[in-house]
Structure 1
């Protein structure tokens, strides 16, 4: 059961979460379920589903089926590192994970999680990813999962382009890219257009907003990618926020 799928406002959601509120946020817990079972997680770093092991469970399963030992993965919008931990396990010692995250608080948790779990195949990139390199204004919110690049932001962060980083030799060509950047998805893809055209990495994309969905699909399909929406509802229009996988035929 994915606790995050149960509304916090419902009676069931309130009852299930009540005992979880008693756990100190600074406490380190073993992750209960899934491929990360036994790994360590700081309770206050993210949602309870992280240390329970149920966080975005469907996306976990899709990654498990897709990634292979020795793969190179980019985790863009890594937050506190749940999917960085997962992909580091899935690709094994010979694989590599590059974890991109601009927010200082999240970076602290991310580095701590890698340290307490003795993860040696993941590299932290303290930057936001966009269509070009430089500096950008970042809008912070009360929730650590939200926020993003915005002209109204008050935090200045480093901004990088995947194409420029690869051309400089700073990072290798990836087999898979996971992107969760709160509405900035199109710009991440634009900054990786040469990479997508030449290497065709598989892309896991969390979409925030229907216009962004249309823009990303149009760009990816123009590059020859096939789009599959995960957990697509039967009939009716697509939800505002959704996850998809883009793969290159053959």
Structure 2
């Protein structure tokens, strides 16, 4: 059915693929508005932990026909819905990549959850998924250098950063980051500030309390 409101109004959405807020257009509405404010036409966006593609679709609209979006998602069921949403809406500026982004390229165990949002890399997982490093893919010319990273990877944030050190040091993409866990929060903030990023909390909380932030390079 068509999404009811927001920049994705009128886009086709599979109702059972995710939360009802997606087809209502109200899903993470404040975060949507921030996304809309900072993503520029013609830019390159990486959606890490794309789930079924809500932010992938939004990024596709925001970058326009001259921009590109690369959506990384390791869970087959989520990827199926993501590709369906791209097909239903005739989206041609998105490349879907079936992989979890981490610190190196390979294969790892992945633990699925009762919620399709919460799967994560785990030695106890029963699903084998491909992993990729952003630096590795960029150095091989398989993907371009991004202007923006949207990261929601359920605790693997530092593995993503470890596999993207060259990218972050040299290209300084703007980062929209969801953080999972207090220790990971400290590590991410320390790492990003050491590279010269300025951190801004999302959602009205302080930087120390927030679990979502924007990182801008500020040197």
Alignment TM-score > 0.5, same fold: yes
Which SS does the other structure have where 1:188 is aligned?
A: helix
Q: Does the CA contact (< 8 Å) of 1:232 and 1:238 recur in 2?
A: no
Q: Does the CA contact (< 8 Å) of 1:31 and 1:41 recur in 2?
A: yes
Q: Can you give the 5+ residue segments of structure 1 that lack an aligned partner in the other structure?
A: 1-28
**What is the distance in 2 between the residues matched to 1:238 and 1:221?**
17
Q: Can you give the 5+ residue segments of structure 2 that lack an aligned partner in the other structure?
A: none
C-alpha offsets along residues 68-94 of structure 1, whole Å, 9 cap, x if unaligned? 110000000000000000000000000
**What is the distance in 2 between the residues matched to 1:179 and 1:189?**
10
Which SS does the other structure have where 1:84 is aligned?
A: helix
Which SS does the other structure have where 1:182 is aligned?
A: coil
- Is 1:97 the counterpart of 2:55 in the alignment? no
**What is the distance in 1 between the residues matched to 2:187 and 2:206?**
23
Query: Corresponding residue for 2:10?
Result: 38
State which of 160, 177, 180 in structure 2 corresponds to 1:205: 177
Q: C-alpha displacement at 1:234, in angstroms? A: 6.6
- Is 1:230 the counterpart of 2:186 in the alignment? no
Q: TM-score, normalised by structure 2?
A: 0.97
Query: Corresponding residue for 2:213?
Result: 244
Which of structure 1's runs of 4+ aligned residues deviate more than 4 A? Answer: none
Query: Corresponding residue for 2:87?
Result: 115
Alignment RMSD, CA only? 1.2
Query: Corresponding residue for 2:25?
Result: 53
- The number of aligned residues is 219
Which has the greater radius of gyration? 1
**What is the distance in 2 between the residues matched to 1:133 and 1:167?**
13
State which of 83, 99, 109 in structure 2 corresponds to 1:137: 109
Which SS does the other structure have where 1:62 is aligned?
A: helix
**What is the distance in 1 between the residues matched to 2:203 and 2:27?**
15
Query: Corresponding residue for 1:186?
Result: 158
